[in-house]
Amino acid sequence: MDFTFLTGIFASPWDIIRNLVDIAIISYILYRLLGLIKGTRAEQLLKGLVLLLIFTLAAGFLKLTMVNWLTEKLWILFAITLPIVFQPEIRRFLEQLGRGGLFGMRSLWSDKGEYDEMVAELCLAAQSLSRSRTGALIVVARKTGIGEYLESGARLDALVSASLLQTIFFPNTPLHDGAVVIRNTRIERAGCFLPLSDNPALDRQLGTRHRAALGISEVSDAVVLIVSEETGQVSLAYNGEIKRDIGIDELKLMLEKKLGETGNDTSWFRR
């Protein structure tokens, strides 16, 4: 009697462990990918692709010749156009992968003292700008390179200080309309123009300053501080999401949390 079919049932412990590890890795990658596309155009696209897949399977099961022909052409069209239309999302995923963001790796600041001082100065500046209802947009760059957006600004290379930030964003000064970019605890550029978010799900009440903050956070791992000129509200944007109307104490905690890590977890927005 041939018992070879039993080999597929009674697998070795090593094969079971290997398969479990394989499944766990793929599940984790899919989970992080879904987190990356949440709230973006790719989320709506994924829903459309799932519906198209169901439609394709149903047409194949029912043997609908013309419908099968049409769905085949649609899949070819999607394969050609998706990398072009969704280039920002693809770039975002590759940057997350390159800096270890998919695996929750952490980064260390070279000087803890300078880092603490920077956070304190940012909070002090946000408090003063909020009281005077002075609009501000401050980008704290991390691992992802955003050099292409810095060319439009003026080079400063100065220490982060609340008084300097207030001076930069004072109304009618040459640099007050753009964004300040901080890198390695220093103000590198001021007056920078950032890409605007084109997320269709955004609140229509968000102005250009908030959309610019979301835009740069969608294509990089930067943490962006916003002060509203109309209301004086302080907001923080990260990973394509925004937390609005936060207090200074909460701002300090958020800055310390997000500037001290490289992961893309956004649970801090939902506390």
pTM > 0.85: yes or no: no
pLDDT of residue 65: 86
Q: Domain boundaries in the chain?
A: 4-103, 112-270
What is the spatial distance between Cα 44 and Cα 49, in angstroms, rounded to a whole number? 9
pLDDT of residue 161: 92
Which amino acid appears at position 46 of this protein?
A: L
What does the pLDDT look like over 51-70, one tens digit per residue? 888 888 888 888 888 888 88
pLDDT of residue 182: 93
pLDDT of residue 68: 85
pLDDT of residue 111: 57
pLDDT of residue 8: 53
Going by CATH, does the domain composed of 112-270 fall within 3.40.1700.10? yes
Low-confidence residues of the chain, pLDDT below 50? 5, 105-109, 262-271
